[in-house]
Amino acid sequence: MALLFVITLFVSAGLLFWVQPLIAKALLPSLGGTPAVWNTCMLFFQSMLLCGYLYVLAATRWLGVGRQAVLHLVLLLVAALSLPFMVFDSAAIPAPVDDSPVVWLLGRLTWTLGLPFFVLSASAPLLQKWFSRTTHPAAGDPYFLYAASNAGSLCALVAFPLLLEPNLRLPRQGALWAGAYGLLVVLVAACAFVLWRSKPTSAGTPLPRPPRPPRTNSVTDDEARRSVTDGKAPSVVNGVTDGITDNIIHEITHGRRALWVMLAFVPSSLVLGVTTYISTDIAAVPLLWVIPLALYLLTFVLAFAKRGVPGRGVMGRVLQGAALLVTLAYLSGATEPGWLVALVHLVFFFIAALVCHERLADARPPAAHLDEFYLWVAVGGALGGVFNALVAPVVFDDVIEYPLLIVLACLMLARRDENGVGEERGGRGTLCWRDAVFPIGIGLLTAALALASTRFEIGMVGRVAMVLGIPLMVLNHFFARRPVRFAFGLGAVMLGSIVYTQGGTRTLHVERNFYGTLRVTRSASGTFHRLQHGSTIHGRQFIDPSRRCEPLSYYHRTGPLGSVFAAFDAQPAAPNVAVIGLGTGATAAYAQTGERWTFYEINPAMIEVARDPKFFNYLSECAAVPIEIVAGDARLQIRNAPPRHYGLIVLDAFSSDAIPAHLLTREALALYLDKLADRGLLAFHVSNRSLNLHHVAEGLAKNAGLTALVIDDREYDSINGKEPSQWVVLARCPEDLVALTEGDTRWLPLMGHPDSPLWSDDFSDIIGVFKWLG
């Protein structure tokens, strides 16, 4: 019997977590490949999970188990009518062009996936509730099934990027998913039959209880209550609790419910925060969605396993150490090597989620309250999604929620009893005035060190050690035994370090929307205006009117793009130029009389900033011809251009440091070639801190039979505003690139990587192009 329920829960959870990256990947191109797509999808998934748990709570309280089984099977069959998913045939429908297409995306998910996901979300708690009503010896403590459910979820997540995505196209996966769903219906029917054969008690009827044993000196009622409120479940045999604690296990206080919600909220919000942080600078691809989510589920598996996690006593201290390390990496602006920075954030997240889920497992109630427990856990998870996807982008103009959750995770180390009263870890009493005053002092120390560091000629490493290393060492040595003081102190260091992170620059404009955070700053020297998207510079412009029309940064006339336009102007295949990605609009400075220029840009905020003369003037003053800007995803919008229309297509679309993967696929290249005139040029900006994107371009060129050149310009000139950059140019035949190589001998043939990956709409391999050595 138990094996049947384990298999059914495993399959149900596997389907639930297989479909999440599957649907998100299918919808990603409609929204420009931005990392916020995954956050919004996660909000939908968590909200539907909450709806599923509400359904289970209502069904188990108002219906007998027989009617529950009939209702659930009917819902499973009705949901099957929406299969297979139609999203794979219509994912190319453009999303509305505005700052926040969240409503559109949530509506599309609801229409496509709503009912099947709702029914699957309800399966785990409902099947566990059914199992607790059987006569199986383990029925009194069915939480081991929760671990089995999470194991199925984990296997599905790992299988998607490693097995399913590389080998199966999305429509094929959709068909297989529908077949597996049919198998689940059969398994659930079998569980319902076993439940009926076991003659369970009706829902809401207490199981029989043996006579209350006489009180002994070994266990008092107060001790039993403390055992329950500390999360230690009373002894259970065949669903029957012992007599001492039975009179109190039904008393679930509001404070205990709030604790469940918070312990679920923190990891839920953190998993979205760390996923966004990583994918923003690398790529929005399923692998980088799956890794944090798999770690999240793994902590559930470990925390709710029967044997638990060894070494629980030191996990709090380990979490504090990891928090110090991730804070140092975050505040110092470390970005390279990308894999190491990502690893630091993932390790902290794993430890923080494990600590929270361990406390959640310890605080779980007896099986009589299983449905309510899962409901409040789902509430916490859904609130995490709401906070990251809806609240934070509106309330904060920068990504504040991630460091805020780092602090909150450390705050979870402070113990709380069932009434919500806090006490320090290690039995060191309640809060005192020092827990507020000392953190203020450490914040002031950080700010003072940041100001003092500007007076010394020290390198970046020395400045980081002075401004951040000293305060973090003080936290580690003097605050660690008081978790509340430690958490507040960590937050104070983050606030005090603002003086350090500003670096003497003046912020002119900050704006955040669905596509990320834009920041316009004035350099400390007063020479440039600079545009930053996420952690990456996206362009700059001289403030001096006499030099204002010089293209700077990655678009400098002495750089690769300067030689591309020199070659294009010498032999234009067609007078039309397309630029995918707007930035500051610096490339418009290359426009010549008689040409027609079109920019494709999905971010409305980017368009407003580039057009605002208070910030940048390339579009308003420097272009020799009128500039057309087409709003929306470039791959969807460029389809409307006539065939063989453009003599030059420049691909320069980045979200922070990551290029949207769907713009570098085999199918995308076929579209560009259809719009490219004979003897036309394709110029790809492939600069990236974490990925060797020129290998991706090489794979595309080989597959399409194109000629490719590459240039890696390492020159950095801070006075004249030039940034290092790497560019690749593709053409249909070698003769089309003669003018480029004759004008600039730095261009070299792109070859020599025998295993260049071929990215497609179905699979983008980032492991093979990772810069492991920085």
pLDDT digits (tens, 9 = 90+) for 151-186: 888 899 889 988 898 888 888 898 899 999 999 999
Name the residue among 478, 495, 494, 499 with its Cα closest to residue 435: 478
Which residue's entry shows tokens 């900050």? Answer: 510
Which residue's entry shows tokens 């956050």? Answer: 39
Give the pLDDT of residue 430: 64
pLDDT digits (tens, 9 = 90+) for 273-285: 898 888 876 666 7
The Cα angle at residue 331 between residues 326 and 335, in degrees rounded to 5: 75
Other CB atoms within a 10 A radius of the CB of residue 223 amount to 11
Q: How large is the average pLDDT for residues 483-505? A: 82
CA–CA gap between residue 524 and residue 505 (Å, rounded): 5
pLDDT digits (tens, 9 = 90+) for 453-478: 777 777 777 778 888 888 889 888 88
Place 410 in a pLDDT band, splitting at 50, 70 and 90: very high
Question: Mean pLDDT: which of 120-124, 310-314, 427-431, 602-606 is highest?
Answer: 602-606
* Paired sense of beta strands 240-241 and 236-237, if any: antiparallel
pTM of the model: 0.81
Q: Is the dihedral of CA 61, 67, 73, 77 positive or negative?
A: negative
List of E strands, 466-590:
506-513, 516-522, 528-533, 536-542, 576-580
CA–CA gap between residue 509 and residue 524 (Å, rounded): 15
CA–CA gap between residue 634 and residue 725 (Å, rounded): 22
Coil, strand or helix at 423? strand
Which residue's entry shows tokens 């297409």? Answer: 101
Are 476 and 319 in contact, with CB atoms under 8 Å apart? no
Which one is predicted more confidently, 244 or 486?
486
